[in-house]
């Protein structure tokens, strides 16, 4: 998910990531993009769901470690695919080249319909819930809608303003999380938390509940592939794309494991079970009621970075699809600053619908299952890359091949199987959306996009 793609004059042919680059993005910026896109709603909201069926803190820590291993295996594999197919767009590009344009379109379709809009809705809903806990008179739904409208207005008008907004809130996010973890280690909790394995530990780890909980964890780790969405804009992509994917994912894995430990260390697990705003409860126990409320408000502000990143990034893929598909060409229109304002507004309208109609947990399962389908296919594409010798002179090969991609594929398949059997309704919604995308593609795939009319903007 690209959050810092530079703009061009309107009418210039765009890359799949959105806007043709006028400058290159360095290694550290690429790493920050990965971190900014990964750290969002999931880590502050999913622990309460996991504790319904998993009671052991040790197993919870293992759950987040496994999630990190899955993401790292995916990042290492994407690195080779990315340097073999060095065009921006992530799965939209990879699946089109490795399988068939239909697969690329379906990946883009999921991004347009739920891939970005649903996580934005989830983050806005979580933000509203956090604030309403501190200020009960605030309507959480209305606040979520107001936040969406404000940030959409920023990103639909000027890219420079949107980029500055994004950088500020991402920096705030990282600083607060590190401070939160450090403060958590200094307090003496009123309960005992042990992270040592118990007699039933291994049974829990290999249980369906563990696999189902991975859907929440995988959502929290989503974004580890962020740098691949802007491969063309990265300086020396053969070196920096794989490194940025790996380093960014590794940093977030460490932060996630420590953060979830702090949540359970500072709050009894029975108090966290079924509770969405786990970060708020932990903040109260660490800082006391007054400062804890302030910290809870800061945690809510952290979600602004996630909302902003996806409102900024998602429309770039939508714009590219508008250039490739005639029936979607209205989504490719840009303003005088090169911003795809129609795509930005279109995505936010979908977000508003989700906020007004969807439940938090069902949307989380829906988006996690849908995204897993296409990252699974992309990682599987590494074997096609090797067979076609596409990465022969690319300069980077997947570390631990073929075991690393196989680990990713096996764990994701295991997770998706149990999610489908336990949450068939939400899973079928995800599959139905993919089928709908296939029908749309079959109807319209021969209608190429005409040049986008930029007159009067």
Q: Which of 38, 98, 30, 2 shows the shortest CA–CA distance to 378?
A: 98
Burial class, 451, CB count within 10 angstroms (exposed 0-12 / middle 13-18 / buried 19+): exposed
pLDDT of residue 358: 64
The CA distance from 217 to 256, in Å, is: 10
Percent of the chain topping pLDDT 90: 18
Query: Could you tell me if 87 and 231 are in contact, meaning their C-beta atoms sit under 8 angstroms apart?
Result: yes
Check whether 365 has a pLDDT greater than 70.
Answer: no
Q: Which of 405, 399, 83 shows the shortest CA–CA distance to 227?
A: 83
Residue 404: pLDDT band with limits 50, 70, 90: very high
CATH topology of domain 27-444: Amino acid/polyamine transporter I (1.20.1740)
Residue 74: pLDDT band with limits 50, 70, 90: very high
Cα 100 to the center of its chain, rounded Å:
24
Length of the chain: 457
- Domain layout of the chain by residue ranges: 27-444
pLDDT of residue 446: 57
Check whether 129 has a pLDDT greater than 90.
Answer: no
- pLDDT tens for each residue of 437-451: 899 888 887 555 444
Q: Which residue matches tokens 């319209």?
A: 444
The top-scoring range by mean pLDDT among 169-173, 215-219, 403-407 is: 403-407
Reading the block at residue 294, the tokens are 């302030």
Q: Comparing 401 with 216, which gets the higher pLDDT? A: 401
Check whether 193 has a pLDDT greater than 60.
Answer: yes
pLDDT of residue 447: 52
> What is the separation, in whole angstroms, between the first and last Cα of the chain?
27
The CA distance from 379 to 95, in Å, is: 10
Burial class, 368, CB count within 10 angstroms (exposed 0-12 / middle 13-18 / buried 19+): buried
pLDDT of residue 71: 93
- pLDDT tens for each residue of 298-351: 777 778 888 887 887 778 777 777 877 777 778 878 888 777 889 889 989 988
- pLDDT tens for each residue of 255-281: 999 999 999 998 888 888 877 778 878
Per-residue 3-state assignment (H helix, E strand, C coil) for the chain: CCCCCCCCCCCCCCCCCCCCCCCCECHHHHHHHHHHHHCCHHHHHCHHHHCCCCCCHHHHHHHHHHHHHHHHHHHHHHHHHHHHCCCCCCHHHHHHHHCCHHHHHHHHHHHHHHHCHHHHHHHHHHHHHHHHHHCCCCCHHHHHHHHHHHHHHHHCCCHHHHHHHHHHHHHHHHHHHHHHHHHHHHCCCCCCCCCCCCCCHHHHHCCHHHHHHHHHHHHHHCCCCHHHHHHHHECCHHHHHHHHHHHHHHHHHHHHHHHHHHHHHHCCHHHHCCCCCHHHHHHHHHHHHHHHHHHHHHHHHHHHHHHHHHHHHHHHHHHHHHHHCHHHHHHHCCCCCCCCHHHHHHHHHHHHHHHHHCCHHHHHHHHHHHHHHHHHHHHHCHHHHHHCCCCCCCCCCCCCCCHHHHHHHHHHHHHHHHHHHHCHHHHHHHHHHHHHHHHHHHHHCCCCCCCCCCCCC
Q: Which residue matches tokens 């990252």?
A: 375
Is the pTM value of this prediction over 0.85? no
Residue 1: pLDDT band with limits 50, 70, 90: very low
Residues paired with residue 25 on neighbouring β-strands, in sequence order: 234
Q: Comparing 424 with 404, which gets the higher pLDDT? A: 404
The CA distance from 287 to 272, in Å, is: 17
Instruction: Enumerate residues 6+ apart whose C-beta is below 8 A from 377.
Output: 91, 95, 99, 103
How many other C-beta atoms can be found within 10 angstroms of the C-beta atom of residue 98?
A: 23
Query: Could you tell me if 68 and 249 are in contact, meaning their C-beta atoms sit under 8 angstroms apart?
Result: yes
Q: Which residue matches tokens 């939160």?
A: 180
- Torsion sign over Cα 247, 178, 257, 274: negative
- pLDDT tens for each residue of 350-363: 889 888 886 555 66
Please, what is the average pLDDT of the chain?
A: 79
Check whether 378 has a pLDDT greater than 90.
Answer: yes
Reading the block at residue 254, the tokens are 């460490």
pLDDT of residue 366: 67
pLDDT of residue 50: 83
pLDDT of residue 195: 66
Reading the block at residue 397, the tokens are 């090969």
For the segment 377-399, the average pLDDT, to the nearest whole number, is: 88
């Amino acid at each position: 998910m690209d959050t810092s793609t530079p703009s061009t004059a309107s009418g210039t042919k765009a890359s799949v990531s959105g806007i043709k680059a006028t400058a290159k993005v360095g290694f550290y910026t690429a790493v920050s993009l990965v971190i900014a896109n990964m750290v969002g709603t999931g880590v502050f909201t999913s622990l309460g769901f996991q504790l319904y069926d998993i009671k052991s803190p040790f197993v919870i820590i293992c759950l987040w470690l496994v999630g990190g291993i899955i993401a790292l295996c995916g990042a290492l594999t994407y690195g080779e695919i990315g340097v073999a197919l060095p065009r921006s767009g992530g799965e939209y590009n990879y699946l089109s080249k490795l399988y068939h344009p239909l697969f690329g379109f379906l990946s883009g379709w999921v991004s347009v319909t739920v891939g970005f809009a649903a996580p934005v809705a989830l983050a806005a809903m979580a933000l509203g819930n956090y604030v309403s806990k501190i200020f009960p008179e605030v309507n959480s739904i209305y606040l979520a809608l107001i936040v969406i409208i404000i940030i959409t207005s920023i990103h639909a008008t000027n890219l420079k303003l949107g980029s500055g907004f994004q950088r500020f809130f991402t920096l705030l996010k990282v600083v607060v999380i590190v401070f939160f973890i450090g403060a958590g280690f200094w307090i003496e909790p009123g309960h005992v938390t042990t992270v040592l394995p118990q007699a039933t530990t291994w049974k829990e780890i290999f249980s369906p509940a563990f696999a189902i909980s991975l859907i929440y964890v995988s959502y929290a780790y989503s974004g580890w592939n962020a740098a691949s969405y802007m491969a063309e804009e990265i300086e020396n992509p053969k070196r920096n794309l794989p490194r940025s994917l790996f380093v960014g994912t590794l940093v977030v894995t460490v932060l996630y494991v420590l953060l979830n430990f702090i949540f359970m260390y500072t709050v009894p697990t029975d108090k966290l079970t079924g509770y969405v705003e786990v970060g708020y409860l932990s903040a109260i126990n660490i800082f006391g009621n007054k400062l804890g409320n302030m910290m809870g408000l800061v945690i809510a502000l952290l979600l602004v970075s996630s909302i902003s990143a996806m409102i900024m990034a998602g429309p770039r893929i939508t714009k590219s699809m508008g250039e490739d598909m005639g029936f979607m060409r209205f989504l490719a229109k840009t303003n005088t600053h090169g911003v795809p304002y129609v795509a930005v507004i279109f995505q936010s309208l979908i977000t508003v619908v989700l906020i007004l109609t969807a439940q938090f947990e069902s949307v989380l399962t829906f988006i996690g299952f849908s995204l897993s389908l296409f990252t699974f296919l992309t990682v599987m594409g590494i074997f096609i890359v090797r067979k076609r010798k596409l990465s022969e002179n690319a300069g980077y090969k997947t570390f631990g091949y073929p075991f690393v991609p196989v680990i990713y594929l096996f764990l994701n398949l295991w997770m998706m199987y149990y999610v489908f059997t336990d949450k068939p309704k939400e899973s079928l919604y995800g599959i139905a959306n993919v089928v709908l995308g296939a029908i749309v593609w079959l109807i319209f795939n021969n209608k190429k996009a005409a040049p986008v009319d930029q007159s009067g903007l």
